[in-house]
Amino acid sequence: MKKLLLTFVSAALMIVMLAVPAAAADLPNVTDAAELMTEQQLATLEEMSEDIAQKYGCGVYIVTVGDYRDLEDTDIQTCAEDLYEYFDLGVGEEKNGILLMLSMEERDYALIAFGQKAHYSFTDYGSRVLAGEFLDNFRSDDWYGGFYDYVERSGEMLALAESGTPVDDYAEDEPEYTPPSRADRIRMSVIIGLVLGVIIAAITCGVFKRQMKNAVKAVGAERYIAKENGMVMHDRFDRFTHQTVHRERIVHEQRGSGGGHGGGTTVNSHGFSGHSGKF
């Protein structure tokens, strides 16, 4: 791995290394070995990335290559993680940073983060949101536009995380549940009781009405005379006296801070989070 990476530095990054003092061993924030951008564009992105790193204590890195498999025969996400570790990227003791790597041969990308601050700022959901900022540009071969959106949006997400509101699925899509007050529950019970009373009364009246449709006027007095061992009822009343209402509390489960659909960040055994894909 180290031999291949040293070859990568001496060959693919020769143009960049010429512009860096000989004593410098760190990889620049923006490394365009695939030569997708102009020098002015590179300078702009480098300045933006440096400002973000100084302001939020988290590096924002870009690396482009012709084919990541020239570096190592793995997958692009593992390759990006190895680059991050080998060149000792990141800011502070925790080496906080986020890196976007592009491989042009088969249009692969990897977006990885390292360090507690980076994991908190770029959650699983936030990583997908961030990818959406640049993938539309890359699919149209707008390289500078995609990288500019990536760096700018990374700064915005770091600012949100610093304020205590990182971009996450449960935080953005679902408002916090607030149980109804006692007064609201009482009002709802009264309304439900009145509605049920009206419905029951309407049903009862409808039944009686249908039963009375076959009634005819008697022409003989014998119809109104009490029978032997029995009697004829001329009047009948139904009175609604009370009702029973059953109430059941609905408990809304709050999502936790772990990885996956419930929000948060999934970190692998090497300490990295992120994902990879095609553009």
Q: What percent of the chain has pLDDT over 70?
A: 65
In the block, tokens 């309304």 appear at: 191
**Per-residue pLDDT tens for 231-271?**
555 555 566 565 565 444 333 333 333 334 457 999 999 99
The pLDDT confidence band at residue 200, using thresholds 50, 70 and 90, is confident
pLDDT confidence band for 204 (50 / 70 / 90): confident
Domain ranges of the chain: 2-173+260-278
More confident residue, 218 or 141: 141
| Alpha carbon distance 50, 91 (integer Å) | 11
The DSSP bridge partners found for residue 103 are: 65, 108
CA–CA dist 91, 53 (Å, integer)? 7
pLDDT tens by residue, 140-151: 999 999 999 999
- 13-65: pLDDT as tens digits: 444 433 444 334 578 999 999 999 999 999 999 999 999 999 999 999 999 99
Does residue 200 or residue 156 have the better pLDDT?
A: 156
Confidence of residue 68 (pLDDT cuts 50, 70, 90): very high
The yes or no reply on domain 2-173+260-278 and CATH 1.10.3210.10 is no
Chain centroid, CA 65 distance in Å: 30
pTM of structure: 0.63
- The residue with tokens 């076959």 is 214
Polymer length of the chain? 279
pLDDT value at position 16? 41
pLDDT of 197? 75
Mean pLDDT on 69-94: 96
List b or e across 219-236, with b for residues whose CB sees 16 or more CB atoms inside 10 angstroms.
Answer: eeeeeeeeeeeeeeeeee
DSSP sequence for 203-256: HHHHHHHHHGGG----SSGGGGSPPTT-------------------PPPPPPP-
